[in-house]
């Protein structure tokens, strides 16, 4: 169909209508303005849904771009003006200030002496793959042969189910805790941190993206592309936060991956990819390079460079759990799949080395926590460190790992979901029903058509991707 023909025929057939009983005209835009102002307010002053921790996304946007080695001093001049406009409920002024912040970030110049530029952070798969410390002969073909180690589909199903259960339990555990420091959580909750501190709920934005990935993979077996995953985001996911918000906005404007993950996306090295790519490990059991590739495709929808490595690392560890003896072995092996000269690798090694010289998780965290002061609580790096420390000192026990994550603080639900997935697959014992019974073995989402589903359905879907 030609666009001009469609428009011409439509205009030719159009006839005036009776306007006396018209229900709505331009007045409907007042409602749109109201909704826009609510969203703007939300981006300047909001509370994390589960824990009610405070957030200010526009200020965090400046912080994130500063972490990336850019001079954000001009954008920072608008912070107080924005807060004043917010306090005065002057939304029209706040709209201008918000756009000016983004303008200044777009114009921001690199700071040549910033530590970020000392690292090599490849962006595309070929360069990421060649930067891994893997044997040159390591290939997906060899890996595929290793991947046949589980020929019993019933056994594989049970392992995958346990991984999903542990992930969802971890998310439910951490939802009430995210956004606070470990000190604040311990001062307030104390020993209650050994279990759910509130009535657990499974509503969580993290897993919605995994459902989208599963659907994309099931429909494109053997030929999955990032654009297939992006299409599922558009079909299923109405709203995202930080990197996912900007990625969705890009996609709606026809900007597809990898551009959707890096064009004007200031949060593209935050935790969003790391929090959701465990599904890539579930769908590539004992095939870590394949899991890494899946994670690259998924992560590139909303992230770039170190944000993508976070997704790769999460997927690789989950995949390795299918054939590893313990969590420490997984951690050591996982480092081979991360570009060695990247900033992500620097912090991964920092956390792992701190564990090796420390006698406790608390000591390992205290050794390095000051390294993360400049990073937001949703950034990849501090949460990467928390995950590494929790796995290293977990003794392969989920209960112990969850408490370590709470003691570290930051993005506890994402971290507990990741760690839960890995230990759930690794475990040789059943996940204690004390974690599962309160959530009724079910998952609740805001996705249309998937408002409530059994966790076992996710395991079925996963098995059907092979």
In tens, the pLDDT along 141-179 reads 446 555 555 678 889 999 999 999 999 999 999 999 999
Tokens standing for 430?
Answer: 């059943």
- Phi, psi angles (nearest 5°) of residue 270: -85, -175
Q: Please state, as a whole number, how many other Cβ atoms lie within 10 Å of the Cβ of residue 311.
A: 30
DSSP letters for 434-463: HHHGGGTTEEE-SSTT-SEEEHHHHHHHHH
pLDDT tops 90 at residue 33? no
pLDDT of residue 23: 64
pLDDT of residue 22: 64
- CATH number for the domain formed by residue range(s) 125-463: 1.10.4080.10
pLDDT of residue 25: 62
pLDDT of residue 384: 98
pLDDT tops 70 at residue 106? yes
Q: Where are the beta strands (DSSP E) in 176-254?
A: 180-181
The residue extents of the domains of the chain are 30-115, 125-463
pLDDT of residue 181: 97
- Which range among 27-41, 44-58, 244-258, 416-430 shows the weakest confidence by mean pLDDT? 27-41
Q: Where are the beta strands (DSSP E) in 50-150?
A: 54-55
In tens, the pLDDT along 195-209 reads 999 999 887 777 889
Tokens standing for 160?
Answer: 């995958």
The pLDDT confidence band at residue 397, using thresholds 50, 70 and 90, is: very high
pLDDT of residue 299: 98
- In angstroms, the Cα distances linking 449 to 211, 234, 443 are 12, 14, 13
Strands 54-55 and 180-181 come out as: unpaired
For the chain, what percent of residues have pLDDT higher than 70?
Answer: 95
pLDDT of residue 233: 96
pLDDT averaged over the chain?
93
pLDDT of residue 445: 80
Q: How far apart are CA 86 and CA 94, in angstroms?
A: 7
In tens, the pLDDT along 332-346 reads 999 999 999 999 999
What's the pTM value of the predicted model, to 2 decimals? 0.94
Q: How far apart are CA 86 and CA 254, in angstroms?
A: 32
């Amino acid at each position: 169909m030609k666009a001009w023909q469609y428009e011409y025929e439509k205009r030719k057939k159009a006839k005036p209508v009776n306007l006396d009983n018209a229900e709505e005209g331009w007045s409907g835009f007042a409602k749109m303005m109201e909704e826009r102002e609510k969203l703007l307010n939300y981006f300047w002053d909001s509370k994390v849904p589960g824990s009610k921790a405070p957030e200010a996304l526009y200020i965090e946007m400046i912080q994130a771009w500063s972490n990336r080695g850019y001079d954000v001093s001009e954008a920072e001049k608008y912070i107080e003006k924005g807060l004043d406009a917010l306090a005065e409920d002057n939304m029209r002024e706040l709209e201008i200030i918000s756009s000016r912040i983004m303008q200044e970030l777009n114009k921001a110049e690199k700071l040549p002496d910033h530590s970020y530029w000392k690292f090599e952070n490849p962006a595309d798969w070929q360069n990421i793959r060649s930067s891994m410390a893997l044997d040159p002969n390591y290939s997906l073909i060899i890996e595929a042969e290793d991947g046949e180690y589980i020929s019993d589909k019933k056994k594989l199903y049970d392992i995958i189910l346990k991984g999903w259960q542990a992930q969802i339990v971890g998310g439910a555990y951490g939802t009430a805790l995210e956004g606070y420091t470990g000190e604040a959580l311990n001062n307030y909750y104390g020993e209650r941190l050994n279990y759910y501190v509130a009535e657990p709920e499974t509503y969580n934005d993290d897993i919605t993206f995994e459902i989208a990935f599963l659907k994309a993979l099931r429909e494109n077996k053997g030929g999955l592309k990032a654009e297939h995953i992006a299409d599922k985001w558009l079909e299923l996911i109405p709203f995202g936060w930080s990197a996912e918000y900007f990625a969705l906005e890009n996609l709606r404007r026809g900007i597809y991956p990898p551009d959707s993950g890096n064009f004007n996306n200031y949060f593209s090295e935050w935790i969003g990819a790391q929090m959701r790519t465990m599904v890539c490990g579930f769908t590539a059991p004992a095939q870590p390079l394949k899991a890494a590739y899946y994670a690259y495709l998924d992560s590139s929808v909303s992230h770039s460079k170190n944000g993508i490595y976070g997704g790769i690392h999460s997927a690789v560890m989950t995949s390795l759990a299918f054939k590893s003896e313990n969590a420490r072995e997984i951690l050591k092996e996982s480092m081979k799949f991360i570009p060695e000269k990247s900033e992500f690798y620097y912090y991964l090694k920092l956390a792992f080395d701190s564990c090796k010289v420390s006698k406790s998780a608390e000591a390992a965290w205290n050794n390095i926590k000051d390294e993360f002061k400049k990073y937001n609580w949703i950034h990849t790096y501090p949460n990467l460190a928390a995950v590494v420390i929790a796995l290293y000192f977990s003794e392969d026990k989920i209960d112990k790992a969850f408490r370590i994550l709470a003691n570290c603080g930051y993005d506890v639900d994402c971290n507990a979901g990741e760690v839960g997935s890995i230990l759930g697959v690794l475990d040789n014992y059943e996940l204690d029903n004390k974690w599962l019974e309160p959530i009724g073995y079910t998952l609740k989402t805001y996705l249309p058509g998937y408002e409530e589903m059994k966790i076992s359905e996710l395991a079925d879907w996963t098995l059907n991707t092979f």
